[in-house]
Amino acid sequence: MNIRNTLFLLSIGGLLVTLLNSCGNAKKESKNQAEIEKVYPSILIPSPKDWTITLGNGANIKDIVDYENKDYFYTVNDGTDWVVYKAPNSGKTTPNSKNTRSELGETPRWIPEKGGKLTGKLKVMNVSTTGDARVAASYSVVVGQIHSDEGHENEPIKIFYKKYPGQDKGSVYWNYEINTEGDNSERWDFSTAVWGHDMSVIGTAPDTYPTEPQDGIKLGEEFSYEINVYKGIMYLTFMSEGHESKTFTKSLLVSEYSKYEDIPQQILTLYASIGRDGTERENAYSGELQYFKQGAYNQTNGKKPSTNMVWSTGSETYGGDLAKQYANGSYAEVWFRESTVGPGTPPNTSEKSN
């Protein structure tokens, strides 16, 4: 081999080494860039260190910073970054519930007199497509709530989205659960419509649905809520483009339901089959520790409706098989693009309250 050929081969070899090094560096840079660009849910959640999350498999994650679970809690981007909360009809549940959830729980506690505020901008992407239309909880998911951490551990507010199969629009409503005087077995929720129907509007047969709400919210249609507790009064605001904004006010310090004659007809009708007609203590939730929850608290389950015609929905669960549930609509899925949490603030008194 002459010197010219030798030099040529050495030149080619050097070029190959340079190319290989360049490819390796490019791959390393690409990997590092992907790691930098990865969006964890905690990036989009306010004060992530003030939250834990309970997942649809029963796991409770104490530190959500840079945490995700591709089955229950992760992010997607459709031009906007969203936090996804997903909960099957059947999975492991918390001790005091029959329903699965992928839901944040606030770790700081506060009393109504001190107050707190939670906001959320969201869209519901799926609710269970099976259930019993006579059961009020069928086809619904809770997307935000206040939960008591003392006494009966009841819920001053739960915000629901509910849509019947085959209908284009669903309902948004909020429930107030009484802080029962005495035995909590007689507790009940009073339901107030925001857009569409309240919880008490149910079907006449397992597969016979009420009329579709004309002012309802579609799956994938964005809406927002604000729960603002200030000096013991709960101020609620709901907004959605193309819909009338709604506001409500409810005292958490003085009960409207402390006497039997105060019980609304809605309750006497809806809860008659399960015998719940209790009264509330006069000072409601006064002085009790509270905390916010936000995400997807699936209200459907596989319990037989005959056991509870308000909360046992008889929904399809595929024996708890997660993949089959997700493939066949047996789950709730909620996307949040924005939320905030913090102290209660003075209400906007110029807004009309319903």
| pLDDT at residue 349, rounded to an integer | 64
In angstroms, how far is CA 212 from the centroid of its own chain? 23
pLDDT tens column, 58-98 = 999 999 999 999 999 999 999 999 999 999 999 998 877 88
pTM, to two decimals:
0.89
Q: What is the pLDDT of residue 25?
A: 54
CATH class of residue range 41-342: mainly beta
Q: What is the rounded CA–CA span in Å between residue 29 and residue 330?
A: 41
Query: Which backbone phi and psi does 208 adopt, to 5 degrees?
Result: -115, 115
User: What b/e sequence results for 59-79 when a residue is b if at least 16 CB atoms lie within 10 Å of its CB, and e otherwise?
Assistant: eebeebeeebbebbbbbeeee
Give the 3-state secondary structure of residue 319.
helix
The pLDDT score that the predictor gives to residue 37 is 74
In 10 A of CB 245, how many CB atoms? 12
Enumerate the H helices of 39-169 as residue ranges. Answer: 41-44
**In this structure, how many other beta carbons lie within 10 angstroms of the beta carbon of residue 236?**
21
The set of residues, in sequence order, having a beta carbon less than 8 Å from that of 278 and lying 6+ positions away, is: 178, 180, 181, 182, 183, 184, 185, 186, 187, 188
Query: In the prediction, which pLDDT does 7 show?
Result: 40
User: Where is 86: in which H helix or E strand?
Assistant: strand 81-88
pLDDT reported for residue 19: 43
Residues in the chain predicted with pLDDT less than 50, given as ranges, are: 3, 6-10, 13, 15-17, 19-20, 27-31, 33-34, 351-353
Distance of CA 354 to the CA centre of its chain: 24
